[in-house]
């Protein structure tokens, strides 16, 4: 059966006319679809925004950063691999520094639990971190005042320290604190620099956490034996990040004498792995949102089917007349199917607009990492595709009913 | 034009069989204007529906424009209705939300004629409205028109595709007598222009516009006379 372009144009015009003539009913009917589409697009917009913020954060954090931690291999009993075998030792870090050409910078990082004293303040629970001068590069944190750590500080085990602003405030040091003296673990340290604070909402490091940094060689002295240390490193660029990780793994296995086939007693991690994990999580949430939408679209579809059945019975005489002037069953079927699809697309359109508005609203929430919330084009496309599919699926039965009406009986209908 | 032989129509209502038409023969030539009369239930509408290809006979043969209709598929029948038949109903059957012009254009939606421009469609609809003398109300909706005007829109719609036969089942049944005569004048004019017309009516003065009167009784033809013979016959009775 052939239908002309003019037929399609008129059928769509008629469908729009029907929706307009029954405005209120149309909106109520497509409420299920409106809500479904609006909530998904809003969730997708929020996720998109969150993803953009998180990735940006990772970027600013340094996508080329690599960490090495002590780690007990899976499925190996505790007593087989004692702590001392896993623990990273300073000489191992020096081996890594020498044996990994793809690294730009590397530093051990160790946190020690000691009290910090100034002239009129005693602080507990403040973190004192031992670092090499390379730390400035691996963390991309420079000094605002004073100077950075130098290799001489490290080599000579100088009693110097760097503070962040929160620590300066907490210790009530004069001015920016540089040139003051504080007591760390009972030893007198000179404050040589004020280190910049990195704002990271997501990783729990804020301007309000006090930080004190001392040369690593000095930190070792203040530590009990068998202390914990991790390694932070920076690959030369993003391209060699993978290579750098492999170099680290090989070097570690070599210096620890791990036999081929035996598991690693350490763990190498890179930021991009976290990015992958986050992306997987975001995809998961999107899938769940899509599932919820599927259900609400189903409910919406039943509403559409109901209203289309009402429409068919209200317009029985009209259907009879259309058949009398030459409409084939296929033409009537197509006309009602199009009407259901147009109604669903209308619901989808309102839903997308609501989702878009919600997305705009989200960007104004203070403090939330949703500055970049927006409904992506693919979500708009998918919303319309789903709406149309619901129209076809749930409009088919009423349309079939209309197409099968007997013209004479339809015209006799009251 | 129309050639009917041994036409039967049986309705089944539960166990019961209703014989609406019982072996009816009828021939209508080109450019005739025929009235179909008979008491209620005599089978007039049933016959009209079959001639208008809205329904199919239970038995017998029916040729329209020398094509056999009895064995056509639903799609073929729809095409015949669209191109060859113009139907006018007692209750007008206009679409309430469409203008007079849009109502007249309706059959073109289902026409298989391709490449018609909207100007051409408009021109045809206006021409049909002109033929029923309703050119000053084309943008009005049915509820803004009188009964007579509505029926004229319906007639314009029926003649839009220049059908082989124009059929009307009690077209004046819902109209007062003055308006009825106006409508019949239009049918007469169309007939004079060459249109074949078939009209069901209960009124003799409506039938008087035709040249031939076919009277039905119990699904069979009671008489088939010229208007003069029919009028004379009535006078005798
Ligand atoms: N769909 C149907 N189902 C069952 N019986 C029907 C049906 N349509 C018509 N009939 C019967 O067929 C017979 C003829 O009906 P038809 O409608 O053709 O009469 P009519 O001459 O048009 O009457 P009227 O002048 O009242 O319109 C009647 O007995 C009627 O009851
Ligand atoms: Mg009748």
Q: Could you read off the pLDDT of B158-197 as tens digits, one per residue?
A: 999 999 999 999 999 999 999 999 999 999 999 999 999 9
Residues B109-155: tens digit of each pLDDT: 999 887 888 899 999 999 999 999 998 989 999 999 999 999 999 99
Residue-wise DSSP of A275-300? HHHHHHHHHHHHHHHHHHHHHHHHHH
Q: Of all protein residues, whose CA lies closest to atom 14 belonging to ligand 1?
A: B43
Residues A268-292: tens digit of each pLDDT: 988 777 777 777 888 888 788 778 7
Residues of chain B with Cβ-Cβ distance to A330 below 8 Å are 75
Residue A409 in contact with partner chain B when CB distance is under 8 A: no
Structure-model confidence comparison of residues B148 and A50, the more confident one: B148
CA distance B77 to A117: 101
Confidence at residue A50, expressed as pLDDT on a 0 to 100 scale:
84
Residue-wise DSSP of B172-193? TTTS-HHHHHHHHHHHHHHHHT
Residue of A328, A331, A333, A334 to mutate when probing chain B, most B C-beta within 10 A: A328
In a domain, B5, yes or no: no
Residues of chain B with Cβ-Cβ distance to A318 below 8 Å are 95
Confidence at residue A393, expressed as pLDDT on a 0 to 100 scale:
95
Core vs surface per residue A115-133: b (16+ CB within 10 A) or e: ebbbeeeebeebebbbbbb
**B201 Cα to the center of ligand 2, angstroms:** 9
In a domain, B7, yes or no: no
Nearest residue of B to residue A318, measured between CA atoms: B95
In a domain, B179, yes or no: yes
**B43 Cα to the center of ligand 1, angstroms:** 6
Confidence at residue A170, expressed as pLDDT on a 0 to 100 scale:
86
Q: What angle do CA A380, A383, A387 make, to 5 degrees?
A: 140
Classify burial at B54, counting beta carbons within 10 Å of its beta carbon; exposed 0-12, middle 13-18, buried 19 or more: buried
Confidence at residue A52, expressed as pLDDT on a 0 to 100 scale:
81
In a domain, B85, yes or no: yes
Contact A326 B82 (CB under 8 A): yes
Confidence at residue B16, expressed as pLDDT on a 0 to 100 scale:
93
How do A116-118 and B2-13 pair as beta strands?
Answer: unpaired
**A227 Cα to the center of ligand 2, angstroms:** 105
In a domain, B207, yes or no: yes
Confidence at residue B64, expressed as pLDDT on a 0 to 100 scale:
92
Name which of A69-83, A302-316, B127-141 the model is least confident about.
A69-83
Q: Which residues sit with Cβ closer than 5 angstroms to ligand 2, an ion?
A: B 45
Residue A321 in contact with partner chain B when CB distance is under 8 A: yes
Query: A397 CA to chain B: closest CA distance, Å?
Result: 20
- Of B8, B18, B58, the one to substitute when testing ligand 1's pocket (max ligand atoms within 8 A of C-beta) is B18
Residue A6 in contact with partner chain B when CB distance is under 8 A: yes
Residue A331 in contact with partner chain B when CB distance is under 8 A: yes
Q: Does A242 score more than 60 pLDDT? A: yes
**B90 Cα to the center of ligand 2, angstroms:** 9
Q: Does A60 score more than 60 pLDDT? A: yes
Contact B81 A17 (CB under 8 A): no
Size of interface A-B (CB pairs under 8 A): 68
Range of the structural domain that residue B211 is part of: 29-58+78-236
Please state the domain count of chain B: 1
Contact B95 A318 (CB under 8 A): yes
Q: Residue B132 belongs to a domain with what CATH number?
A: 3.40.50.300
Classify burial at A379, counting beta carbons within 10 Å of its beta carbon; exposed 0-12, middle 13-18, buried 19 or more: buried
Residues B94-112: tens digit of each pLDDT: 999 999 999 999 999 999 8
Kindly indicate the confidence band of residue A1, based on its pLDDT and cuts at 50, 70 and 90. low
Q: CA-CA-CA-CA torsion for A164, A166, A169, A175, nearest 10 degrees?
A: 30
User: What are the strands, taking DSSP E only, across A97-163?
Assistant: 103-112, 116-118, 121-123, 127-131, 143-146, 160-163
Three-state SS at B52: coil
Name which of A165-179, B19-33, B213-227 the model is least confident about.
A165-179
pTM of the model: 0.75
| DSSP state for residue A270 in the 8-state scheme | E
Domain definitions of chain A by residue range: 5-58+279-412, 102-237
CA distance B2 to B63: 6
Q: Does A299 score more than 80 pLDDT? A: yes
CA distance A278 to A348: 30
Kindly report the backbone phi and psi dihedral angles of residue B216, in degrees, each rounded to the nearest multiple of 5, phi listed first.
Answer: -110, 150
Confidence at residue A62, expressed as pLDDT on a 0 to 100 scale:
66
Confidence at residue A17, expressed as pLDDT on a 0 to 100 scale:
92
């Amino acid at each position: 059966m052939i239908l002309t372009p003019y037929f399609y144009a008129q059928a769509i015009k008629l469908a729009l006319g029907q929706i307009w003539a029954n405005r209120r009913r149309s909106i109520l009917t497509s409420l299920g679809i409106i809500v479904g589409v609006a909530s998904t697009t809003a969730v997708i917009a929020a996720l998109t925004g969150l993803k953009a913020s998180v990735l940006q954060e990772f970027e600013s954090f340094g996508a080329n950063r690599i960490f090495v931690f002590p780690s007990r291999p899976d499925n190996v009993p505790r007593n087989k691999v004692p702590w001392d075998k896993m623990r990273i030792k300073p000489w191992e870090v020096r081996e890594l520094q020498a044996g990994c050409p793809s690294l730009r910078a590397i530093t051990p990082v160790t946190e020690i639990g000691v009290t910090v004293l100034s002239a009129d303040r005693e602080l507990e629970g403040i973190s004192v971190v031992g670092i090499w001068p390379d730390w400035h590069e691996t963390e991309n944190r420079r000094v605002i005042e004073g100077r950075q750590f130098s290799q001489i500080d490290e080599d000579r085990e100088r009693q110097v320290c760097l503070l962040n602003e929160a620590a300066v405030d907490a210790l009530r040091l004069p001015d920016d604190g540089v040139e003051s003296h504080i007591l760390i673990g009972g030893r007198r340290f000179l404050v040589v620099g004020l280190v910049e604070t990195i704002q990271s909402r997501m990783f729990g490091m804020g301007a309000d956490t006090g930080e004190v940094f001392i040369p690593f060689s000095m930190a070792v002295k203040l530590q009990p034996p068998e202390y914990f240390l991790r390694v932070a490193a920076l690959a030369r660029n993003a391209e060699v990040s993978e290579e750098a990780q492999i170099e680290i793994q090989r070097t570690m296995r070599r210096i620890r004498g791990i036999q081929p086939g035996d598991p690693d007693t350490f763990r190498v991690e890179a930021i991009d792995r976290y990015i992958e994990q986050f992306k997987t999580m975001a995809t998961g949430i999107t899938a769940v949102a899509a599932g919820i939408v599927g259900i609400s679209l189903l409910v919406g579809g039943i509403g559409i089917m109901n209203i289309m059945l009402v429409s068919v019975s209200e317009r029985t005489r009209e259907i009879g007349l259309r058949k009398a002037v030459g409409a084939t069953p296929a033409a009537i079927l197509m006309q009602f199917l199009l009407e259901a699809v147009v109604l669903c697309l209308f619901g989808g359109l309102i839903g997308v607009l609501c989702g878009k508005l919600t997305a705009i609203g989200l960007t104004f929430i203070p403090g939330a990492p949703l500055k970049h919330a927006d409904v992506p084009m693919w979500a708009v496309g998918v919303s319309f595709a789903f709406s149309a599919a619901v129209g076809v699926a749930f409009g088919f039965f009423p349309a079939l009913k209309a197409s099968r009406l007997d013209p004479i009986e339809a015209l006799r209908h009251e | 034009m129309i050639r009917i032989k041994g036409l039967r129509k049986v309705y089944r209502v539960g166990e019961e069989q209703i014989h609406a038409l019982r072996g009816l023969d009828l021939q209508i030539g080109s450019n005739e204007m025929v009235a179909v009369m008979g008491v209620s239930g005599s089978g007039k509408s049933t016959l009209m529906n079959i001639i208008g290809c809205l329904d199919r006979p239970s038995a017998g043969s029916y040729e329209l424009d020398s094509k056999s209709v009895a064995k056509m598929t639903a799609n073929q029948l729809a095409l015949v209705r669209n191109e060859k038949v113009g139907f006018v109903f007692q209750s007008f059957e206009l679409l309430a939300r469409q203008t007079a012009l849009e109502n007249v254009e309706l059959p073109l939606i289902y026409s298989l004629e391709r490449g018609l421009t909207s100007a051409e469609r408009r021109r045809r609809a206006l021409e049909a409205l002109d033929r029923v003398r309703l050119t000053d109300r084309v943008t009005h909706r049915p509820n803004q028109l009188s009964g007579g005007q509505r029926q004229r829109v319906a007639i314009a719609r029926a003649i839009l595709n220049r059908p082989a036969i124009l059929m009307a089942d009690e077209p004046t049944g819902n109209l007062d007598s003055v308006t009825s005569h106006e409508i019949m004048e239009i049918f007469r004019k169309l007939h004079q222009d060459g249109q074949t017309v078939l009209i069901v009516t209960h009124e003799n003065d409506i039938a008087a516009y035709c040249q031939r009167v076919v009277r039905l009784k119990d699904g069979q033809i009671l008489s088939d006379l010229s208007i003069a013979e029919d009028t004379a016959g009535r006078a005798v009775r």
